[in-house]
Amino acid sequence: MVTGKCAVVAMTVGALAVFGITAASGVSAGETVAGGATATTTATATATATATATATATATATATAGPDSTSITAYLTASELTADLLHRFGWEARSLLPGAPALADYLGYALAHSPAVAAALANWQADGEVGMQASALPDPRFSWGEMLVPVQTRTGPQQRIFSLSQTLPWFGKQSLRGKIADEQAAATEARLVGVVLDVLFRVRRAYYDLAYLGEAVRITDRHLALVGQWEVVARARYAAGAGRFADMLKAQVEYSQLTDRLAELTDARRPAAAELNAALGRPATAPITWPATLPATAHAVAEDSLVAALLQRQPQLVALTHEEQSTGYAVSLAGRQKYPDVTLGIDYIMTGESAIPATPDSGKDPVIARLAINVPLWWGKYAAAEREAAGRQRALEAARRDVTVGLQARLERVRFEHREAVRTVDLYGGSLLLKGQQALDAVTAAYETGEADFLDIVEAQQTLLAFELTEARARADRLISLARIEQLIAGPAPMLAATSDERGAR
């Protein structure tokens, strides 16, 4: 069984060497993940499959663009809130993906193609049309009545009657209805911003996870090649009678374990690519180009202004504020419902010629002006409506307070996660990785002179591998927590001064 696994890994090592990596590498920058396919065979087969997948991805990206992507882009900029958001981040919608997309390309594509963004846009557009309807006067009423039996009058028989009337709501009612609708539309626009932020966070998180997997595979591959060399050495020494059988077995066991870990990391590309595709509004099996590396980021977030930014710009709070204002107008409207509406009308009666000759005003058509009001007699109903509106206003006030403290607590949690990731990157990247490599080199040298046991080499290698994977995961977590902070505050996070090697595009 061990021999079989070694054979599989040997093929993997040979295939990955095609990409210029000294040790075997299962992932190369620019490789395309098509439906998460992870199997590797020979070097030629891997290179051919990669080139084919990349060409397919390029052709698909070039040939396909959502039918509504252009209009979605236009509507995004039509919303002041979303236009301001995109301006703050420097993002712009993109109809197509290039052959080798960067993170900014994926973000722009998601803006133009995400079904969630399209749905939120449609809701905002629909709610924006409600205000005009709510504030407009009721339609005039026209009626026509035909006398089945004409009414005989001195001036002639009345034959038919035409009526026109218009209801005029009490002063301020229609204006308040329009304001209620406008505030609801503003709340929907704020929710649109929240949907945009959520979609773009999902894109960033999935992209960073994919980039981490790429680095984890490369790290594991390098250690796999190293253990493979040790296994060869241990087998040769045992064959020559200079080594122990236990050393050879330990090398083979470690080789098999690393092979299994490599397969697990490689297979994890499938769900990670599917998550990114879902955020982009594409099928789960659409080709995804493997990120070259984790993007650079500033060292840490300047946290002093985060809470103020959250309270000012967070879409949930903005939406609840508009809804609270809407209920305030609803309270005023409920208070005016007890005042009557006025209906003005005019009636025109067609009259035939009188049967009596020489009758004055014979055939003259009467015109009647009418004034009608509804009588708000059931005051208990109107009082109940006022209490209902006031209750809903209190509920929204309490909901806004609850959401505010909840968001602040979430921000504190994400700030902690970001600080923890920064500390981990500093610890491992600053000293532990170097010390782990030095320890492995020292133990290897000691083993070659017979001063160390082979198990010491394996332990040092496992420690260094754990350090490298932890540091890579921490860099990804630092980026993800930064993206979460920026989602919460609806804008770029203020950063502390970055070191020269940390400056780069977010």
Q: pLDDT tens for residues 329-358?
A: 999 999 998 899 999 999 999 988 887 887
Lowest mean pLDDT among 52-61, 133-142, 306-315, 409-418: 52-61
Confidence of residue 194 (pLDDT cuts 50, 70, 90): very high
Angstrom distance (rounded) from CA 347 to CA 162: 6
Angstrom distance (rounded) from CA 47 to CA 409: 49
10 Å Cβ neighbour count for 30?
Answer: 14
Phi/psi at 230 (nearest 5 deg)? -65, -35
What is the arithmetic mean of pLDDT over 32-58?
A: 40
Partner residues linked to 371 by β-bridges: 344
The domains located in the chain, with CATH, are: 1-137+183-291 (no CATH), 138-171+339-373 (2.20.200), 296-338+379-506 (1.20.1600.10)
Nearest Cα residue to 91 out of 67, 68, 115, 117: 117
Q: pLDDT tens for residues 382-424?
A: 899 999 999 999 999 999 999 999 999 999 999 999 999 999 9
pTM check: above 0.85: no
Angstrom distance (rounded) from CA 29 to CA 32: 9
